[in-house]
Chain A
Amino acid sequence: MTEGATGEPVEERPEADQMIVAEDVKKWFGKFQALKGITTSIRRGEVVVVIGPSGSGKSTFIRTINRLERHDSGRIVVDGIELTDDIRNIERIRSEIGMVFQSFNLFPHLSVLRNVTLAPRNVRRWPRRQAEEKARQLLERVGIPEQADKYPAQLSGGQQQRVAIARALAMEPRIMLFDEPTSALDPEMIKEVLDVMKQLAGSGMTMVVVTHEIGFAKEVADRILFFDEGLIVEEGTPDRFFTEPEHDRTRLFLSQIL
């Protein structure tokens, strides 16, 4: 791998190039084993799309990356820092990882602008002016600068999700995680959110996206991870993955969704 698909220059030291390294990550919910040993690594600037049937562990996996779920065994190293129980470490890593949820999870009591400035002001300790300037740039970037003073409930789903993306970007993260970002949206609003994500991918952001949007995966992903029953069954470039999948399970899944 000499150059990322996004065209970002690759750094000299290969080990520094790994943004996320997962080694044999396992996770149980009571007796149910959601992750049965996930091993993969994600390069700086890489866009990885995670697909798979529901209950396959794909959401659980990306939620372990910023420790919304604690993994029970194995190792996860994010940008050189291993995830442990040390809460300071976790908060530091979380502030480097932006996350976008299926149900937006905006803070309904705060205006759009304050949703976006909350973390920079309180975690990064930015002065108000700087945080708001950044927030307005980001709202411009996701295409809704005029909504800054509204409240989340006054926006459409697509607008809310774009605010959520701006909110995550406001922390200037090195990694963005997307957990089914378009699944709760009406069809006509999906495109506006995907467009923002494409633009973000084009800017060289390291992204891990759980989604069912095959079009997005084909167009933007550098690599597809296919999850089933807590394991990565198959991975590869979109070209290979969608045209000549190796495993029967993958073929079956693709035949159901395509």
Chain B
Amino acid sequence: MRPRVNLQEDVDLVGLPLEDERPVEVAPARVPATPGEWIRDNLFSSVFNGVLTVVTGALALYLGYQVLRWILVTAEWAVVKANLRIYMIGRFPLEEAWRVWASVFLVAVLGGLSFGVSGHRLRWTLRKAALRAALAALVVGALVFFLDGPRIWILTGSVPVLLAASLKAGRAGYERLRVPLWIGWGLAFPVVMVLLRGFGGVPPKLWGGFLLNVVVAVVAIFLSFPAGVLLAVGRRSSLRAVSSFCVGFIELIRGVPLVTLIIAGFNLLPLMLPSGMDLALIVRMMLIFTIFSAAYVAEIVRGGLQGIPFGQYEAARALGLSTTRILALVILPQALRSTIPAMISHFISLFKDTSLLAVLAITELLRAARRASAQLEFLGAKKEAVLAAAVLFWVVAFSMSRWSQRLERRLGVGER
């Protein structure tokens, strides 16, 4: 493998010693020599532990067998296979599906480059390699099983290939790519919108399935973050009008169930908008999710702000920095870093909450799944239909969680 030019910097960033793969040295005590010894030490160290091992082992085997048997034998996955397009893009016309693919490719390339630039790389140990191989086999198997025909195999298969290739390119480009990448991410959303809608594209009312969940969640996350930060800062403003507005807004929105807001966005919002301004339902829902999320982000950020010692403000003030710069350069960078776990947690739940759009008969993923299982030929396959939707949600939510852990590690530099 090519040695990394910026290895030292990278290591400093993570705050780990250079040889972070090396196990920490411990007292050279009982290292089990054989698998037999390991089993005796860890599973049968006493009679009671032996009984526990046998009982839980049997239970685990039984459950595992049942689940696997259901997944591989009993379950009728045809419902998912036949409705996969509805799951992913709803009523988005098939002949326009290339627009979605183009968007996915764009995000894959940007994501790969970003990971590469931030020094991400796959570490290959024997265990990890085996784990990855098993995972890859599972994914490939599922894709071949669920996806119809070589065209879609190739399209789907190119996503990980693109990701890997741009990761490598990102690692090679390192510093040079940093600024272009920020610009790229900044443009990504408008570009995707144009791709989906522009030049004879598909109107939002035809967007559906997982695409819809993702688009609504992404818009809400990226708009509610700055909005929430502003609300949190505004809440502490010495101007009474500003702070009262922020407190009022936050408390009002937090005090109402999301479903209520969604229904209000459906019924009430059109009445409140100036006449002639006709927002598509999906756009209104993006707005509702943004407002909802902003209130929670504001409270999370408030928690972060409270954790900043007063001395930080004083030191910044003593240097002659203006209030805005103190916030932007000293306070917020620290406050936001400490809120990453809570923030990502909130965003994950926001993402899953997009399934509440089903109450408006919008065909997002969950409703798509239930509709699929209501088709005459798939009656009785509801478990399979909903489980498939759940797996999709889980994969994205889990990725977000892993990404946040990475982010925390990367930003945990020099923490006091």
- By a beta-carbon cutoff of 8 Å, the part of chain A in contact with chain B is 66, 68, 91-99, 101, 103, 105-109, 111, 118-119, 122-123, 149-154, 164, 167-168, 171
Verify if B317 is at the interface (C-beta below 8 Å from A): yes
- Tell whether, in the assembled complex, residue B414 and residue A94 are in contact, meaning their CB atoms are under 8 Å apart: no
**B317: A residues at CB distance < 8 A:** 68, 94
- Max chain A Cβ within 10 angstroms of own Cβ: one of B312, B319, B334, B416: B319
- Tell whether, in the assembled complex, residue A94 and residue B320 are in contact, meaning their CB atoms are under 8 Å apart: yes
- Tell whether, in the assembled complex, residue A105 and residue B314 are in contact, meaning their CB atoms are under 8 Å apart: yes
- Max chain B Cβ within 10 angstroms of own Cβ: one of A93, A96, A109, A111: A109
- Tell whether, in the assembled complex, residue A68 and residue B318 are in contact, meaning their CB atoms are under 8 Å apart: yes
Please, which residue of chain B has its CB at the minimum distance from the CB of A120? B319
Verify if B329 is at the interface (C-beta below 8 Å from A): yes
**Interface pairs A-B: 3 shortest CB-CB:** A151-B414, A95-B320, A105-B315
- Cα A105 to Cα B321 in complex, Å, equals 15
- Tell whether, in the assembled complex, residue B312 and residue A105 are in contact, meaning their CB atoms are under 8 Å apart: yes
- Tell whether, in the assembled complex, residue A109 and residue B334 are in contact, meaning their CB atoms are under 8 Å apart: yes
Interface SS of chain A: helix, strand, loop or mixed? mixed
Given the known interface contacts A105-B314, A109-B333, the answer about A152 and B320 at a Cβ–Cβ threshold of 8 Å is: no
- Cα A25 to Cα B67 in complex, Å, equals 79
Verify if B402 is at the interface (C-beta below 8 Å from A): no
- Tell whether, in the assembled complex, residue B319 and residue A108 are in contact, meaning their CB atoms are under 8 Å apart: no
- Cα A164 to Cα B315 in complex, Å, equals 9
- Tell whether, in the assembled complex, residue A97 and residue B321 are in contact, meaning their CB atoms are under 8 Å apart: no
Q: Would you give the shortest CB distance from A110 to chain B, in whole angstroms?
A: 8
Please, which residue of chain B has its CB at the minimum distance from the CB of A177? B318
- Tell whether, in the assembled complex, residue B334 and residue A123 are in contact, meaning their CB atoms are under 8 Å apart: no
**B321: A residues at CB distance < 8 A:** 91, 118-119, 122-123
Write the B307-333 contact mask toward A (1 if CB under 8 angstroms, else 0): 001011011111111100100011001
- Tell whether, in the assembled complex, residue B413 and residue A109 are in contact, meaning their CB atoms are under 8 Å apart: yes
Verify if B25 is at the interface (C-beta below 8 Å from A): no
- Tell whether, in the assembled complex, residue B315 and residue A107 are in contact, meaning their CB atoms are under 8 Å apart: yes
Please, which residue of chain A has its CB at the minimum distance from the CB of B334? A109
Q: Would you give the shortest CB distance from A152 to chain B, in whole angstroms?
A: 6
- Tell whether, in the assembled complex, residue B315 and residue A108 are in contact, meaning their CB atoms are under 8 Å apart: no
Verify if B19 is at the interface (C-beta below 8 Å from A): no
Verify if B236 is at the interface (C-beta below 8 Å from A): no
- Tell whether, in the assembled complex, residue B315 and residue A101 are in contact, meaning their CB atoms are under 8 Å apart: yes
**B315: A residues at CB distance < 8 A:** 99, 101, 105-107, 164
Verify if B20 is at the interface (C-beta below 8 Å from A): no
- Tell whether, in the assembled complex, residue B414 and residue A154 are in contact, meaning their CB atoms are under 8 Å apart: yes
Verify if B410 is at the interface (C-beta below 8 Å from A): no
Verify if B377 is at the interface (C-beta below 8 Å from A): no
- By a beta-carbon cutoff of 8 Å, the part of chain B in contact with chain A is 12, 309, 311-312, 314-322, 325, 329-330, 333-334, 337, 413-416
- Max chain A Cβ within 10 angstroms of own Cβ: one of B322, B325, B329, B414: B414
- Cα A98 to Cα B415 in complex, Å, equals 25
- Tell whether, in the assembled complex, residue A153 and residue B318 are in contact, meaning their CB atoms are under 8 Å apart: no
**A151: B residues at CB distance < 8 A:** 413-414
19 residue pairs A–B, Cβ–Cβ below 8 Å? A68-B317, A91-B322, A92-B320, A93-B320, A94-B318, A99-B315, A105-B312, A106-B315, A108-B334, A108-B414, A108-B415, A109-B337, A118-B319, A118-B321, A118-B329, A122-B321, A153-B414, A167-B319, A168-B318
- Cα A62 to Cα B67 in complex, Å, equals 72
Q: Would you give the shortest CB distance from A198 to chain B, in whole angstroms?
A: 22
**A153: B residues at CB distance < 8 A:** 414-416
**A167: B residues at CB distance < 8 A:** 319
- Max chain A Cβ within 10 angstroms of own Cβ: one of B314, B315, B337, B413: B315
**B415: A residues at CB distance < 8 A:** 108, 153
Q: Would you give the shortest CB distance from A79 to chain B, in whole angstroms?
A: 13
- Cα A164 to Cα B312 in complex, Å, equals 12
Given the known interface contacts A68-B317, A171-B320, the answer about A107 and B416 at a Cβ–Cβ threshold of 8 Å is: no
Q: Would you give the shortest CB distance from B8 to chain A, in whole angstroms?
A: 10
Q: Would you give the shortest CB distance from A66 to chain B, in whole angstroms?
A: 6
- Cα A31 to Cα B319 in complex, Å, equals 30
- Max chain A Cβ within 10 angstroms of own Cβ: one of B316, B318, B334: B318
Please, which residue of chain A has its CB at the minimum distance from the CB of B312? A105
Q: Per a CB cutoff under 8 Å, which of B311, B320, B414 touches A109?
A: B414
**A164: B residues at CB distance < 8 A:** 315
Please, which residue of chain A has its CB at the minimum distance from the CB of B318? A99
**B316: A residues at CB distance < 8 A:** 107
- Tell whether, in the assembled complex, residue A68 and residue B325 are in contact, meaning their CB atoms are under 8 Å apart: no
- Tell whether, in the assembled complex, residue A119 and residue B414 are in contact, meaning their CB atoms are under 8 Å apart: no
**A107: B residues at CB distance < 8 A:** 312, 315-316, 330, 334
- Tell whether, in the assembled complex, residue A123 and residue B414 are in contact, meaning their CB atoms are under 8 Å apart: no
**A97: B residues at CB distance < 8 A:** 318
- Tell whether, in the assembled complex, residue A171 and residue B413 are in contact, meaning their CB atoms are under 8 Å apart: no
